[in-house]
Structure 1
Amino acid sequence: MLVQSVYTLTNQQNGNLSFKVFEFDNNSYFDHIQRNNYFTLIIITAGEGLAKVDLCEYPFKENTLFAFYPYQPFMLESKGTLRGVSIQFHHDFFCIYRHHKEIASNGILFNNVYQQPFIWLQESSKNTLLNFVQEITGELKTESLRRDEVIVSYLKIFLVLATRIKLEQQHIEETGAAGGKQLLMVQNLRNAIEENFRVKHSPSDYADLLNIDTKSLARIAKNHFNKTLSDLISERIIIEAKRELYLTNKTVKEIAYELGYDDEFYFSRFFKGKTDISPQFYRDTVGFNRGATG
């Protein structure tokens, strides 16, 4: 896939992007902050640099697969030539939330506040994923019967394979991590946030739950996740808010209340402070299917 090309599907109802595949041979596309209202997958086939994602920085090199969810801020600073291929798709084309049981990528590949937003690819894995990109590109070049369904099928397989790789890498990292006591605390922190993020919003809440002082817990969070404890809690709340905004017809006030916020306007300011957009704008731009079930 060396010939530079762009293939796009648009939503016929509103003219917005549904699905896009493109190759790049420089960094002009990603050298500034991206806040896209669709999922973005990027395979780096040549080059290296620094990825700035949310409030964190990660060095990267060739054979890296990035996975970014809607409105996640990111940019790639390259040290030279950067080559690769990107897939971008909107919720309305393929809803990660709704197909969670089929592909299990939500919470692993995407929307995972506990893991870095990329995986390293072995040469064989990279070639396998690029083959699926080629199959998708082939479909995009045609007007064949039920083309979109075929593309979704290839996309599902791509996401399943990438999710498997990430799960394997997580297992290796955790198995090889030094300090069993600290690793246990990290796992306990994850569990505590998952169980309590709707009602407990402050770092001290989790320090009390885990019987550890706040500074020590914050240090563990920073060392292991490269994020502050407050960011871990906030990002988990935002992920749930986005899911509710997309999948349900609950009002913003109802969603705020379910996430532990009595003041709808305070919650809206919190949401906008973390995403740069209001809850209603997220619902309107990412897509909202009334009456749909997950």
Structure 2
Amino acid sequence: MRLILSFSINQKIKKMQLSEIPVRGLGLFSDDNSHFWMDNLMNLLQRFPQLEHPHRQDFFMLLFIDDAEGEISIDNQKIRMDNAKVIVIKPRCISSIDINSKAKGKIICFTEDFFSLRYNNNILDQFSFLHDTSKVFIRLSEEEKNKWMYLLEIFFKEFRLHRRESVKVLRSYLNILLFDLERLYDPSGFIVNNSPKQQKIKEFEKLIEKDFKLKKMPAAYADLLNVTPNYLNKICKEVTNCTAGDLIRKRIVIEAQRLIHFTNYSINEIADQLGFENASYFVTFFKRQTSKTPEQFRRLSNQ
């Protein structure tokens, strides 16, 4: 009976209406640090139980896992705490954290504004592991784990002491960690300053994020970007290996999967939320993109 009751409660928590999925800001952790916060993982959920339930957040979170038990859910992916890794939770993702109270590691939270103030040209768009479609964790070798433990202890000490010019120092440490993660995520790549074409794609992606529920055709975005649809499609292929339409559809699918998995909205309601004319059109679109109907995806994701 106890197991059945626990399962029922967990399912109810998991299947909240979208309006009940809260958006967390850094004020959850501290009123004094509106753009940056870090701490040990030990007793994290005892101190911040809100993280255990599905929520969105308006900041980036890095979780350095040294030794822990449990799992972290990010959208439709579950990450087991089976070895050393860094987990990246990006703004707008729906996540929940379930780790043991004796977990060893660090949590780092920061807004885009905090990092972008480091250098005018050092924006988060440069880091491929922070893109919406990138994987959500990076495994660490024993050597990398030891290096991160050392760096994070220095980082954490600086955060706690609040010394003169501490904010500048914290930005510098964060800069080092992000570049190291980029090397681990893409060993063959390197970061370069955005070309005009790359910058145009970044503008396009930001417009998609803002308007994908209302604007689903590349021509609408091309008009906002003051380019032709053909040119937009051309530079998308050059920079991302995807067409402009592919990028729009990928973003719609991500949001659709979140709504299907984390809410108990009907398919009709989800279609309406995403700006489709009717459920039939949405079902056809979703199946074409994922090879599954929305109902099939819901059943599989809830197993």
TM-score (norm 2): 0.48
Structure number, greater radius of gyration? 2
Of Structure 1 and Structure 2, the greater helix share is in 2
